Amino acid sequence: MTEIVLFHHARGLTAGVRDLADVLGSHGHTVHTPDLFEGRVFDTVDDGVAHASSIGEDVLAARAAQATAALPTALVYGGLSMGAARAAEGVLTRPGARGAFFLYGAVAPSWWSATWPRDVPSQVHVTERDPWREPEAEAEYVTDVPHGELFRYPGAGHLFAEPDDPAYDAGAAGLATRRILGLLAGL
């Protein structure tokens, strides 16, 4: 089984994020869920993005690095939307990553002027018409991330696997979770 660090989305460390961690944990994985917002949770993505902007990327990156400092290096990094950047940073700056998965957004290694490690498989899960999608990042991910898989689900919702979000899609959420569990089982 694997040890996972799961970085939350812009709404914060919600019950839905904890539920995903619990599902992964129920399959024998150890899941750490650092709270980069220090207890703040938001009703909308826009409110959470505004809060994240007020904190700043440097502070969020430092909080993520501090949260992983005492963890083993052989981690799987999971990131949800805003948390995808924190997860990718871990893979790209901390040797030893075993795998990665990203819900609600792709990452582009060029954002860190880095090369994705060849031995770190990963997955991205997005909906086709998500208004927060970054097609350029997806294109770079597909081109520059070895063993990277991009899954697009029908729909227009951003937080499609977050049960209390208006964008929730039980079918897409279930399929994404099964695919993530498949990735983890292969490590």
User: So what's the pLDDT on residue 162?
Assistant: 96
User: So what's the pLDDT on residue 66?
Assistant: 97
Closest CA to 160 of 2, 4, 20: 20
Strand ranges (E), the chain: 3-7, 30-32, 76-80, 99-103, 122-127, 148-153
Looking at the 3D structure of the chain, how many domains does it have?
1
Q: What is the pLDDT of residues 4-48, one digit of tens each?
A: 999 999 999 999 999 999 999 999 999 999 999 999 999 999 999
Residue 54 sits in a domain whose CATH number is 3.40.50.1820
Once rounded to an integer, what is the mean pLDDT over residues 126-139? 96
Once rounded to an integer, what is the mean pLDDT over residues 143-157? 96
Q: What is the pLDDT of residues 60-103, one digit of tens each?
A: 999 999 999 999 999 999 999 999 999 999 999 999 999 999 99
User: So what's the pLDDT on residue 118?
Assistant: 95
Structural domain span for residue 111: 3-185
DSSP state, residue 122: E
pLDDT band, residue 173 (cuts 50/70/90): very high
User: So what's the pLDDT on residue 127?
Assistant: 98
User: So what's the pLDDT on residue 130?
Assistant: 97
Q: What is the rounded distance in angstroms from the CA atom of residue 167 to the CA atom of residue 156?
A: 8
